[in-house]
Amino acid sequence: MEGSLSDTQKDFQTTAQDRRSWMTLTLCRLICIAFALAETWSQLRFVNEDGISYFDMSDALITHNWHLLVNPIWSPLYPLLIGVVTWLTRPPAQWEAPIAHAVNFVIFLGAMAAFEFLLRQVIKIIRQENIRLARTLVSSLPIWTCQLFGYSLFAWSTIGMMWAPRMVTPDLCVATFVYLDAGLLLSLRDTPNRLRICLWLGLSLGLGYWAKAILFPMAFVLILTALFVIGDWRKALRPLAVSFLIFIALAAPLLVAMSRRVGRPSYSEAGNMNYVWHVNHFDPYAASAAAAGPPTYLKHPMSILHRRPDVYGFREPTAFTYPPRQDMEYWSAGTPRVINREMQLRAVGENLRVLFTDVHIVPMWGLIAGGLILSFIGTSPLRRFSNVLGGWPLIISGLAGPALYLLISVEPRYVAPFLVLILLGLFPGVFVRNQDHSIKGLVNLTVALSATALILSALLVVYHAAGFPRQDKGDLWVSVGKSLNAAGVQPGEEVAIIGDSSDGCRWARVARVRIVAQVLRNDVPGFWHLDPSVQSEVYDAFVRAGAKAVVAEKTTPSGDTRDWQRLGNTDYYVYILSQKGSNLTQSYDR
């Protein structure tokens, strides 16, 4: 009779935990989706500078210029997804950004599903260890606390670190594959059907490389980790061979196309070029404008059409909105990567500073430190250390990503999913049953407070940084682009800019025009104080570059805008170069 009552009580408690778990999971999903919708709506027309590069690549489907998808810097999967949707919907220019944000929202849902798959694998390890230790779940930390804290990490890493789904970047795609890869790794521990799991792992690794180049070297780290997860190399050989072959089969087309594009074996030039830019501090603009002429190793220097101020010309390749940004490898091609110990140490030091002091990353390190402390307090420290080791595949994978970035450049959005892996790897140490019930209460309180803090922080990020009241920056670029077309500069024509190319490429994409010449932002204040004859020479240089018009922001300090036409109600002005006079018109007509 007592045994029956005990069994009934256990069943009741288990049912209650399952109900709380379901309610927690549902609430977490709704909160994360609400965050994502708020971000999407508040930044509906916002496009970051990188996004223009992906938009240009996405034109491959509409124009059937498939070579646009093979870019040494920008990976093809994300612009392909945008291109499929734009090919199906054929939106006007002003709706391109909202459609990209809609695609981002769908990818966000995919990332959330991949994260939940990973979280289920972590919870499975915790449950199995609790059963092994106590043959009951009654004294364990409730699973709903694990779900709440896990989803809090997801909310902060995506909203607070990757700025998703606002940013038009493939970072959400990367997070999706990182979480999926890690979940598949954990599922290899005790599954009887490793071959099927490894098939999915190879597929995920291959598609991950198409999403971003960093996941190509990470694939080898994950396959090696999978070997140790399985343990017995004789049992691991066949399924992991399947993973590797599928990965190589999916990666091979891009590998071949990329190698042909750069003229040598290469899986991507993003690492090489970022090393040259961030570690060696190479500047293609400065190199092209060197007084003694561009260095001989530079294969494609920019044309210098005028000196003092320097006017840069870049008509090739002309398929892009702003060629120096879209085809960054082209303008830096031939630049040697100099391995210098002092430069490398300086770069690593700067990246470490960002990694441990950036306000978006610091909360994650605080949680990692807290997780380590909670893992080792209480009874049986050695046993609890073995619990921490239960998440070692996630910890190793999570450390590998930031370690690769540390050599070149670190940003919060780059390392966000990897730091989540490290924290999930600590979950067994925190949530596995602790015989000290006072410690259990401390852990419960800490988890609840941390989850609340993360969710509130994500909400504040959405409120302040995402734009309530709604920011109009995207609307500004739409207004400039449409007004430029109305002023007579038609899609497909070429323009010059005086000022910032970061903003310029955005309104130029809306207007569907190409920027072929530029006076850099640092030279703008001096330009408006130049003698009119020198300004005329600059305009002449723009015409020689093929520009029909020049666009500037805030024009002359004197307010003399007789020759300039204001673009809508903005601070941007356009000057139609064919109006400059017969001399310039003849040059343009030629």
Q: Is residue 11 part of a domain?
A: no
pLDDT in tens, the chain (590 residues): 444 444 444 444 455 567 778 888 898 899 889 888 888 888 888 899 999 999 999 999 888 888 889 999 999 999 999 999 999 999 998 899 999 999 999 999 999 999 999 999 999 888 877 776 665 444 456 778 788 888 888 988 998 889 888 899 999 999 999 999 999 999 998 777 889 999 999 999 999 999 999 999 999 999 999 999 988 888 889 999 999 999 999 999 999 999 999 989 999 999 999 999 999 999 999 999 888 888 999 999 999 999 989 999 987 777 789 999 888 889 998 999 888 899 999 999 999 999 999 988 988 888 888 777 777 665 566 666 667 777 899 999 999 999 999 999 999 999 999 999 999 998 887 777 655 545 555 566 566 666 666 666 666 665 555 444 344 567 889 999 999 999 999 999 999 999 988 889 999 999 999 999 999 999 988 888 888 899 999 999 999 999 999 999 877 666 666 788 999 989 899 999 975 443 433 332 32
Range of the domain at 395: 17-258+344-465
Q: Is residue 295 part of a domain?
A: no
CA angle 242, 245, 251 (to 5 degrees): 140
Q: Are residues 482 and 442 in the same domain?
A: no
CA angle 280, 281, 282 (to 5 degrees): 95
Which pLDDT score, from 0 to 100, does residue 86 have?
A: 94
CA gap 188, 236 in Å, rounded? 10
Q: Are residues 459 and 480 in the same domain?
A: no
Contact 272, 278 (CB under 8 A): no
Q: Are residues 157 and 34 in the same domain?
A: yes
- Structurally, the chain folds into a number of domains equal to 2
CA angle 277, 283, 284 (to 5 degrees): 115
Helix-strand-coil split of the chain, %, nearest 5: 70, 5, 25
Q: Are residues 433 and 501 in the same domain?
A: no
Eight-state DSSP code of residue 94:
G
**The last residue of a domain, from among 416, 444, 465:** 465
For residue 383, give both structure tokens: 């046993």
Residue 334 backbone zone (phi > 0: left; psi -120 to 50: alpha; other: beta): left
Q: Are residues 509 and 576 in the same domain?
A: yes
Sorted by sequence, the CB contacts under 8 Å of residue 508 that are 6+ apart come out as 321, 322, 481, 495, 497, 514, 515
| Helices within 461-571 (DSSP H only) | 473-486, 501-511, 524-527, 532-544
Q: Is residue 276 part of a domain?
A: no
Max Cα distance, the chain (Å): 107
Contact 144, 17 (CB under 8 A): yes
Chain CA centroid to CA 7, Å = 50
Q: Are residues 501 and 386 in the same domain?
A: no
CA gap 221, 217 in Å, rounded? 7
Strands of 303-306's sheet in order across: 303-306, 311-313, 514-519, 494-498, 549-553, 572-576, 565-566
**The last residue of a domain, from among 424, 442, 465:** 465
Q: Is residue 387 part of a domain?
A: yes
Q: Is residue 354 part of a domain?
A: yes
Q: Are residues 23 and 148 in the same domain?
A: yes
**The last residue of a domain, from among 444, 465, 486:** 465
Which pLDDT score, from 0 to 100, does residue 383 have?
A: 65
CA gap 5, 299 in Å, rounded? 82
For residue 207, give both structure tokens: 């598609």
Q: Is residue 525 part of a domain?
A: yes
For residue 197, give both structure tokens: 């799991």
Q: Are residues 504 and 448 in the same domain?
A: no
Closest CA to 136 of 6, 25, 20: 6
Amino acid at 12: F
Which pLDDT score, from 0 to 100, does residue 85 have?
A: 95
Torsion of Cα atoms, 113 then 118 then 124 then 126, to 10°: -130
Sorted by sequence, the CB contacts under 8 Å of residue 345 that are 6+ apart come out as none
Contact 530, 307 (CB under 8 A): no
Q: Is residue 288 part of a domain?
A: no
Q: Are residues 525 and 565 in the same domain?
A: yes
Q: How many helices (H) and strands (E) does the chain have?
A: 24, 7
Q: Are residues 85 and 210 in the same domain?
A: yes
Q: Are residues 378 and 518 in the same domain?
A: no
Q: Is residue 306 part of a domain?
A: no
CA gap 238, 342 in Å, rounded? 45
Amino acid at 493: E
| Helices within 212-280 (DSSP H only) | 215-230, 233-262, 270-274
Contact 314, 302 (CB under 8 A): yes
For residue 123, give both structure tokens: 């919870």
Other residues' Cβ atoms within 10 Å of the Cβ of residue 513: 24
Q: Are residues 123 and 99 in the same domain?
A: yes
Secondary structure (3-state) at 391 = coil
